[in-house]
Structure 1
Amino acid sequence: MTMPPEPQTVPVALRRLDGGLPVPTQARPGDAGVDLHAREDVSIAPGERVLVATGVALAVPEGYAAFVHPRSGLAARHGLTIVNAPGTVDSGYRGEILVNLLNTDAREPVEVQRGDRIAQLVLQQVARPVFTEVEDLGESARGAGGHGHTGTSTTLPATAGPTRKD
């Protein structure tokens, strides 16, 4: 049996702006992202968006970017998401990472407490595009079809779906 390769690690300089908060870490081995924590208590009213400080600043290496993603549990349980998801932290940015949280629930406010895990940060290598201007982009199966052009329905085989064993 072949062993999977060791995960790649990338050194990233981190400046803690709040010593009372933990350094971002993976919740479990194999997780793609590290957890970002709220630096302050905030109450987010229905439909409201709030920039929440995380207490950390990074020096993302050249050739990489860090992306701030919503936490799926907060989205499912409370309707809490990130307005510009994923938020992009460029390699040249040195300020505190702020998370632009949005409460999508129509009725209930969301209470965020200092230290709560509010987002995930994923580091990815990025390529710089070098554009070549052309008159024709050529053909593709999709063509110029835009948002929603394939519809929402999928015909599933008759055997698809959950099965019940009595």
Structure 2
Amino acid sequence: MTKAIEIKVLDQRLREWGLPKYQTPLAAAIDLFACIEEPLQLQPQEAAVLIPSGIALHMDCAELCAVILPRSGLGHKKGLVLGNSVGLIDADYTAQCFISVWNRNPAGSNATITIQPGERIAQMMFLPVVRPAFTVVEEFSTTSQRGSGGFGSTGV
């Protein structure tokens, strides 16, 4: 599915650093830049910080959303993860997109993470949205093999 999405550039430095784009022909997400004025130091286990992405979107399509995901190398090698695990951008949200970042390294480890202005710190993926119609029932119309077994009911 190809859908035109409008991107508004809110931080003109993106024109120098490079507009968000797919880094390879088969990349699933675009990289997002840290649109900050000066280097930001994140101490281990301190509160998450919101970083402006410098862009706003206009998807105008009920069948789309965007998710903000961590860049795997930064998470694995440095401990930089998203403060909310995954960020969801609804199709009707048109304000600036922010990236919640957190230093997951152990407290007292001296593993400070420094984010530089213009650094690629997260990625954004566009996904289809299914909006089902709900039917309230007293009993389900069919059963499944799992039935009402809850969390962990199929084993570890």
RMSD (Å) for aligned C-alpha atoms: 1.6
By how many angstroms is 1:148 displaced? 8.0
1:32 paired to 2:25: no
- C-alpha distance in structure 1 between counterparts of 2:68 and 2:35, whole Å: 16
Match of 2:155 in 1: 150
Q: 2:12 aligns with which of 10, 14, 19?
A: 19
1:44 to 1:149, Cα distance in 2 relative to 1, 3 A: farther
Gaps of 5+ in 1: 1-7, 152-166
Match of 1:139 in 2: 143
Match of 2:99 in 1: 99
Identity, % of aligned pairs? 33
Larger radius of gyration, structure 1 or 2?
A: 1
Residue-pair matches, total:
144
User: Any residues of structure 2 matched to 1:60-79 within 5 Å, and which?
Assistant: 60-62=59-61, 63-79=63-79
By how many angstroms is 1:142 displaced? 3.2
Match of 2:120 in 1: 117
Gaps of 5+ in 2: none
Give, as a single letter, the amino acid of the residue that structure 1 aligns with 2:53.
T
Give, as a single letter, the amino acid of the residue that structure 1 aligns with 2:26.
G
**Per-residue CA shift, 1:92-118, capped at 9, x if unaligned?**
111111011111001211111011111
- C-alpha distance in structure 1 between counterparts of 2:152 and 2:71, whole Å: 25
TM-score, normalization: structure 1?
0.80
Match of 1:127 in 2: 130
Give, as a single letter, the amino acid of the residue that structure 2 aligns with 1:86.
V
Give, as a single letter, the amino acid of the residue that structure 2 aligns with 1:131.
F
- C-alpha distance in structure 2 between counterparts of 1:128 and 1:85, whole Å: 23
1:99 to 1:131, Cα distance in 2 relative to 1, 3 A: same
